[in-house]
Amino acid sequence: MGSRASTLLRDEELEEIKKETGFSHSQITRLYSRFTSLDKGENGTLSREDFQRIPELAINPLGDRIINAFFPEGEDQVNFRGFMRTLAHFRPIEDNEKSKDVNGPEPLNSRSNKLHFAFRLYDLDKDDKISRDELLQVLRMMVGVNISDEQLGSIADRTIQEADQDGDSAISFTEFVLEKVDVEQKMSIRFLH
C-alpha cells in the first residue's frame, strides 16, 4: 500500500508537505494511504462523513469539534494537504528539533499554534473569547449526563472566575494561555516513524 501512495503523491508535493508540516517522508506516505482509504468518494478529498467513520473520532466527546477543525470556513471538503496541515498540530513538540528551519515560519506543532488550535475548539462563535455558554457546551459534551446542569454551571463559573483577568466574564486567548494548559501532552499523537 505504501508504494501506491508514494506513486500517487508527486515528489515535489511530498517535499512541500514535508517542509510545511514537519512530517517525515514515511509518515506522509502512511498518512496518504490512510487518507485514500477514508476517501469513499475517491475524489481526492474527505467530507465530514468520511471523518465520522473514524472510530476514535466517533467516540471522542469533542469529535465533531475536531472534525470541524479540518475544514476551512465555509468548506465541506478537505484535500490531503489541508488534512496534513491540521494533523501537524498534533505532532509532538520535540519533533521540531528534527525539522527546525531557523528562517522559516513557526512550526504548526509549536506550543503557540497548539494553544490557538485548542482555543478554537472552545470558541464556537469565533469571537476570540470563550463564554460561559461555550464552556458549558464543552463540559456537557465531555461529561454527558453524569453531572447535573447546576454542577456544570458551577464548574464553568469557577473556571471563568479563575481565568478572567479583565473582568469581561469570558476567557480571552491570553487568559487561556495563562491557565498553564499542558498542551504538549494533551495535543500530541505519536505518529508512525
The pTM (predicted TM-score) of the whole model is: 0.76
**Whole-number pLDDT of residue 104:** 61
Cell readout for 177 is 494561555
φ and ψ at residue 102, rounded to 5 degrees: -60, -40
Cell readout for 93 is 513538540
For each of the domains in the chain, give its residue range(s) and CATH number, in order of start: 1-88 (1.10.238.10), 110-193 (1.10.238.10)
For 134-176, the pLDDT digits (tens) are: 999 888 888 877 788 899 999 999 999 988 999 999 999 999 8
Cell readout for 104 is 522559516
For 44-58, the pLDDT digits (tens) are: 999 999 999 998 888
Judged against a pLDDT cut of 80, whether residue 101 lies above it is answered with no
H/E stretch holding 171 reads strand 171-172
Angle (CA) 16 30 75, round 5°: 60
